[in-house]
């Protein structure tokens, strides 16, 4: 699973981000429509699709790094994320994940919702998905 940054045009106004796609699954890591990117679930996996560690902090950090790379393939950054969902296998992991999240979003984080689920693919402790809007910083400046 190479992390080649590639767009595949599907139809007018819709582009698939294929960077970081995990083999064996039928999905797109991201879909861009206009100035909005819809990111699929991202895990704390390395370039071979293996979890980087068992703990939520390490997995969360890597998931955010992977998400950043997917956004960069679309010409965006983590600062363009306006909404993120966090999927955890136990709420007991929320404080450890939140600490890592704070490194990536020390101020003005995106809207966020957390869910607890019984099980995640790959045996992961955390999965993240997000919506990003290109140049959302301009909107933020207007709201300040």
In whole angstroms, what is the distance from residue 4 CA to residue 99 CA? Answer: 30
Mean pLDDT in residue range 106-119: 96
In whole angstroms, what is the distance from residue 137 CA to residue 143 CA? Answer: 10
Q: Would you say how long the chain is, in residues?
A: 144
Which DSSP symbol is given to 123?
G
Note the CATH number of domain 7-143.
3.30.1330.40
In whole angstroms, what is the distance from residue 105 CA to residue 36 CA? Answer: 20
Predicted confidence (pLDDT) at residue 15 exceeds the cutoff of 60:
yes
- Identify whether the C-beta of residue 37 lies closer than 8 Å to the C-beta of residue 30: yes
Predicted confidence (pLDDT) at residue 4 exceeds the cutoff of 90:
no
Query: pLDDT tens digit string along 80-89?
Result: 999 999 999 9
Share of the chain above pLDDT 90, in %: 67
């Amino acid at each position: 699973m190479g992390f080649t940054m590639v767009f595949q045009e599907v139809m007018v106004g819709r582009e698939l981000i294929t960077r970081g796609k995990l083999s064996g699954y039928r999905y797109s890591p991201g879909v861009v429509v206009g100035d909005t990117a819809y990111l699929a679930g991202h895990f704390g996996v390395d370039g071979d699709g293996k979890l980087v560690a068992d703990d939520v902090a390490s997995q969360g950090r890597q998931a955010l790094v992977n998400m950043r790379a997917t956004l960069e393939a679309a010409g965006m950054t983590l600062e363009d994320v306006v909404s993120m969902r966090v999927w955890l296998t136990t709420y007991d992991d929320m404080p450890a994940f939140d600490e890592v999240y704070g490194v990536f979003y020390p101020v003005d984080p995106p809207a966020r919702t957390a869910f607890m689920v019984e099980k995640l693919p790959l045996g992961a402790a955390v999965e993240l998905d997000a919506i990003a809007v290109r140049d959302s910083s301009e909107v933020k400046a207007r709201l300040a």
